[in-house]
Amino acid sequence: MIKILIVDDEKPICDLIDLNLSAAGYRCISVQDGLIAIDKIEAEIFDLILLDIMLPGADGYDVMEYVRPLGIPVIFITAKHEVRDRVKGLKLGADDYLVKPFDVVELVARVEAVLRRYNKADQLMSVGDVVVDVEARRVTKAGYPIDLTNKEFGLLLLFIRNKNVALFRETLYEKVWEGEYYGDSRTLDLHVQRLRRKLGWEHCLVAVYKVGYRLEV
């Protein structure tokens, strides 16, 4: 299982990230101090580090200097939004830079993108008897192949990567259709209904009133 170290001095943010990444199938450990983070990195092997900049003990830049020779991918997650801060973080060797406040769906997507870049991403994902081969874009249910359209496959990945999280219609539409959402949900609703039927998920892929949909696992 992919193991991720979360380093942020705000415990509620650590808990939020942990909750969503754990739901997506990752193992997470969180600390709120830069020096403690370095101790953790010395003692354990991590596949990815999510790193705040403003930390007690040692700031994120100091931790990044320590991590760089180890070859562990790093995503900075910080309230420091100015261009010079981003440039500094990227020049130090960070793989990505996400500014607070952030959308948890975007966070999961960026984590997956960085892990793929390092060939660390899990290519097989499953929920119950539904198995998804991400690279081959192949879906099976109880061993039998399920034919999905590109949009249905995109929706399926979003739901599996965000299990038990209510996803807004706007987020689903903009991520899968890659366009701005104007409030007409008929196309999205139709695709979700077809996905439910094909996978037998009528009871676990549920509508959330005035929000969107949630895959309950």
Where residue 140 sits, what CATH number does that domain have? 1.10.10.10
Residues 88, 175 share a domain: no
Residues 90 and 43 in one domain: yes
What span, in angstroms and rounded, lies between the C-alpha atoms of 149 and 171?
19
**Which of residues 96, 117, 138 is at a domain's end?**
117
Range picked from 1-5, 46-50, 115-119 for highest mean pLDDT: 46-50
134: pLDDT strictly greater than 90: no
Percent of the chain clearing pLDDT 90 (strictly above): 50
pLDDT at 121: 66
State which of 65, 82, 117 marks the end of a domain: 117
Q: Tell me the C-alpha distance between 89 and 119, whole Å.
A: 22
Q: Which residues pair with 126 in a beta bridge?
A: 131
Please give the tally of structural domains in the chain: 2
Among 117, 138, 154, the domain-final residue is 117
CA-CA distances (angstroms) from residue 80 to 35, 64, 101, 111, 180? 20, 16, 11, 19, 27
Residue at token pair 């942020």: 8
Same domain, 14 and 76: yes
139 and 107: one domain? no
CATH number at residue 32: 3.40.50.2300
132 and 207 belong to one structural domain: yes
Same domain as 152, residue 48? no
Its pTM surpasses 0.75: no
Sequence-distant (≥ 6) Cβ neighbours of residue 7 within 8 angstroms: 30, 31, 32, 34, 37, 49, 50, 51, 52, 55, 60, 63
Say if residue 82's pLDDT is above 80.
Answer: no
Based on the domain organization, do 131 and 27 belong to the same domain? no
**Residue 76: alpha-carbon gap to chain centroid:** 14
> Do 105 and 169 fall into the same domain?
no
Is the same domain home to 83 and 135?
Answer: no
Residue 122: pLDDT band with limits 50, 70, 90:
low
Say how many C-beta atoms besides its own lie within 10 A of residue 202's C-beta.
10
Q: Which domain holds residue 166?
A: 124-215
- The whole-angstrom separation of Cα 216 and Cα 165 is 8
CB 31 within 8 A of CB 72: no
Residues 98 and 170 in one domain: no
Sign of CA dihedral 7, 13, 18, 23: negative
* Residue pLDDT, tens place only, 135-174: 788 999 988 999 999 999 999 999 998 888 899 999 899 8
Q: What is the rounded average pLDDT of the residues 51-60?
A: 92
173 and 69, same structural domain? no
Tell me which DSSP letter residue 95 carries.
Answer: S
Q: Which helix (H) or strand (E) holds 74?
A: strand 74-78
* Beta bridge partners of residue 50, listed in sequence order: 6, 75
- Mark whether 104 and 197 lie in a shared domain: no
